[in-house]
Structure 1
């Protein structure tokens, strides 16, 4: 038998001739065997005859085996692609996506992998990873055309078959340190959203089998998913950068002391996940020494980004009207005309305050345009409402407003606020408004406090009143006449950073 049949069948036959254990159920016979005959695969099923001989029936199982192996590989590849997609889409960081792409390709597709992003100037951003290693980022001062097919891949053209790429032509920067001799190379594009995301380079050592056509096709499937994730990450990073730049222009400024007058401001948007909204404030320092600085606090109808966009238009318009800052009514009228001539139907309320240092006091001229009246905290704790009234801007053809002058003694403050403070609902039962009376009581307890402390006190108590409930945007600005011993030695002037 050993010379007539394959070894696997000879061994199975020897086992079949061995006596069966007595404890086996009746009718139990030898187990089937399987193995190759030439380039085919067979299953051998034994039948024990009455005279003790064994007849083997051989069934060609090659096609079934190939189908099962193909199904197993397809399941493994599908699981790998799903896992890769989850890892890649989990992060919207471009560098992280490049690292994950290189590491997964090195672990599952090749002995080493490189992810090359489109060139930035004269350098190529490259992430390199060896199987079992960690990705490393570098910038290579090289031309993509040095590698056959790399330039085309970075431009999004179809990949060049690996058999057309001579491994000996690979430049030194393409081969990771300690990799050894390159046996085969696959270079495939990383397709993105309209713009190529880069190229994937797979390397196998000379001691490994060369890439097959099926492996190259699978590498392109992986590259398609990796490229989509990298492209999405870059688009997100670009949009986040643009949003951050625009956001900085819309955020309320940081207020300080300027020209002997102390300013402080605080803002809380209606939604915790937002940084901007419909409330705004600005302090515009006087262009000429000795003139009054202009303080603006306003509330645009609505919430969120749409209200914030309208806020930006109003702030830019007011900035352009600064040369006539001494005439509040004229500024409001021109702003009203500008808002009526836009397609946006939103309106706004606001209060303008011109503040100038006069000796130890601060002279204020206040004008309200449909806005809650400012409150003045005197040194003895009394709270006075400034009797300025006016119509809101952006709704009616004509604006009417009344300007009132107030003088602040050292240590006294003027509070400008939006209705998000007084209309905040909360309290023990959750539905009561914070109200103007409560705001006055809170303010009366702040006598002698610096402007910054007053803002923090009002914001803290309003936030405690609301709790975790919903609320409108909240903005507070405090204008204060500092105590004389707090003024700087340079004529009471300090520098501040404001929007301009």
Structure 2
């Protein structure tokens, strides 16, 4: 049955062929005859199409996409095989499902998909933003270099949030480091003096205050220094948001869109703040690391063993290896304190603090500084050890140390030594014929007992002879074929004896090479060694304007005469 548009009689709402279900359906339902006339309209359909009445022509009341779908139904088999149609009706997104009911009539079930589509879009956007934040975090946290981190933050902000981004770092004096980025363009970094008060909310953002809404910012009032080179068109929308740091703001981020782009939405402002939080945390971590690395490097210069050279016609060489390869300092140490002139003794100190790593290195630094202050008393080893012992006993550190002191002076072609051990391994001397001697000096630990007992021994090095000071990390290095055998004193003596007559630096290098080969990849303690050599005759060294017999000292202000 069909009803023409001019019919005065209105059919009842219920069609016995369709049943009462459609009239009670929560979704809009339209029954359309084979001629395109509206036969039935339920209550939900009247709410969606308030102007539609039974007897109206379908194409006059519905969008073209639905009318076209109905026409295709008439062209094909009346079994619904042509499927659904989708489109918008009065601002709502609708899926239309056809059901042929005989005599050419079609029941159109209109399903409002607006809320579902909005939810899907929101979920998709949330996933996309979550992926962006994850990518941002990975990229920013992959570097602790502040300029590189700043460059990545500005570049990703321009790529994912806006057409252009400007990252304003905290001021350095009166100047601000600025990082400019354009989508698809290069990133540039400059430092210049700018008026941050010219950008609404920027001064507050640099102090860590919450951002002002984008709608409060007049894009036309943005100063020229904010706009990156190559930015096309006029500024149409601006976001200014702080970069939160660890207790101190890490800067501020300015996002720009041209007037041809969509203005920033409220959701995009929220996402910009989330992005800024990630970027600020990464920048703050990079700056904190840089500051700590600078402080550490400064302090490390005082803790690292010095590079030894020749002094007053005597050769010195030192070698150090921390217990862990990634560490640079530990509990072993050595120092050489030259006398003011060749007539005065040079004090050599080698020691081993109980423990390893940074804690031991801190105590090492204290001992070295104390010994440096005691240099005027270096002529009396016992006095030096007593004063050092007292200083350690009153320290908050509970560790003790072993030491060996060597006072060195060159007389003619010989080198005179005074050696004192305080709980340390006795020094070794290799004579010109390869004989290895142990210096019979011994004593008690420093920093453990109220008094220190030590014995001082004097000896002489002839040209080509060397005295070796070393720590137990060398003799106790565990390795070998099975990985559990100590390097031992006997191997050290043999290697040292085979080094007779060679320069001090070569002696230390040979010992280090043999011990490293013995260790392999095994664990070891801190290792330190100092060689004191009387240079072989045959050359003159100019020291402080005076010519002395011996080898090249290599010290500052000295040169070899051949």
TM-score (norm 1): 0.96
Among 214, 217, 237, which residue is 1:165 paired with?
A: 217
Tell me which residue corresponds to 1:153: 205
Summarize the alignment of residues 181-200 of structure 1 with structure 2, pairs less than 5 Å apart: 181-200=234-253
| Deviation (angstroms), 1:494 | 5.2
CA contact 2:144–2:290 (8 Å) conserved in 1:
yes
Tell me which residue corresponds to 1:121: 173
SS in 2 for 1:485: coil
Task: Rate the CA distance shift 1:28–1:4 in 2: closer, same or farther, 3 A.
Answer: closer
Tell me which residue corresponds to 2:156: 104
Tell me which residue corresponds to 2:411: 358
Q: Does 1:130 align with 2:186?
A: no
The ranges of structure 1 where at least 4 consecutive aligned residues each deviate by more than 6 angstroms after the TM superposition are none
Q: What is the CA–CA distance in structure 1 between the aligned matches of 2:525 and 2:65, rounded to whole Å?
A: 81
Tell me which residue corresponds to 2:75: 18
Summarize the alignment of residues 400-479 of structure 1 with structure 2, pairs less than 5 Å apart: 400-479=453-532
| Deviation (angstroms), 1:447 | 1.3
Tell me which residue corresponds to 1:7: 64
Q: What is the CA–CA distance in structure 1 between the aligned matches of 2:374 and 2:65, rounded to whole Å?
A: 96
Tell me which residue corresponds to 2:374: 321
| Deviation (angstroms), 1:496 | 3.5
| Deviation (angstroms), 1:495 | 6.6
Tell me which residue corresponds to 1:337: 390
CA contact 2:241–2:252 (8 Å) conserved in 1:
yes
CA contact 1:29–1:47 (8 Å) conserved in 2:
no
CA contact 1:277–1:308 (8 Å) conserved in 2:
yes
Q: What is the CA–CA distance in structure 2 between the aligned matches of 1:294 and 1:18, rounded to whole Å?
A: 109
CA contact 2:62–2:89 (8 Å) conserved in 1:
no
Among 95, 119, 126, which residue is 2:147 paired with?
A: 95
Tell me which residue corresponds to 2:360: 307
Tell me which residue corresponds to 1:282: 335
CA contact 1:362–1:407 (8 Å) conserved in 2:
yes
| Deviation (angstroms), 1:62 | 1.5
C-alpha distance after superposition, 1:22-58 (max 9, x if no partner): xxxxx66331111111211111110112222322111
Gaps in structure 1 of 5+ consecutive residues: 22-26
SS in 2 for 1:308: helix
Aligned residues: 492
SS in 1 for 2:97: strand
| Deviation (angstroms), 1:312 | 0.5
Q: What is the CA–CA distance in structure 2 between the aligned matches of 1:225 and 1:333, rounded to whole Å?
A: 56
CA contact 1:376–1:383 (8 Å) conserved in 2:
yes
C-alpha distance after superposition, 1:333-376 (max 9, x if no partner): 11011111112110010100001110111111100111111011
CA contact 2:165–2:181 (8 Å) conserved in 1:
yes
Q: Does 1:56 align with 2:108?
A: yes
Q: What is the CA–CA distance in structure 1 between the aligned matches of 2:363 and 2:163, rounded to whole Å?
A: 56
Q: Does 1:376 align with 2:429?
A: yes
Among 125, 136, 141, which residue is 1:84 paired with?
A: 136
Q: What is the CA–CA distance in structure 2 between the aligned matches of 1:135 and 1:368, rounded to whole Å?
A: 62
CA contact 1:140–1:173 (8 Å) conserved in 2:
no
C-alpha distance after superposition, 1:270-299 (max 9, x if no partner): 111111000000000113441000000000
Tell me which residue corresponds to 1:491: 547
| Deviation (angstroms), 1:491 | 2.2
Tell me which residue corresponds to 1:24: none
Task: Rate the CA distance shift 1:46–1:480 in 2: closer, same or farther, 3 A.
Answer: same
| Deviation (angstroms), 1:63 | 1.6
CA contact 1:190–1:199 (8 Å) conserved in 2:
yes
Q: CA RMSD in A?
A: 1.5
Of structures 1 and 2, the one with the larger relative CO (CA 8 A, separation 6+) is 1
C-alpha distance after superposition, 1:63-115 (max 9, x if no partner): 22111111111111112112211211222221122111111110111000011
CA contact 2:155–2:181 (8 Å) conserved in 1:
yes
SS in 2 for 1:254: coil
| Deviation (angstroms), 1:261 | 0.8
Summarize the alignment of residues 66-81 of structure 1 with structure 2, pairs less than 5 Å apart: 66-81=118-133
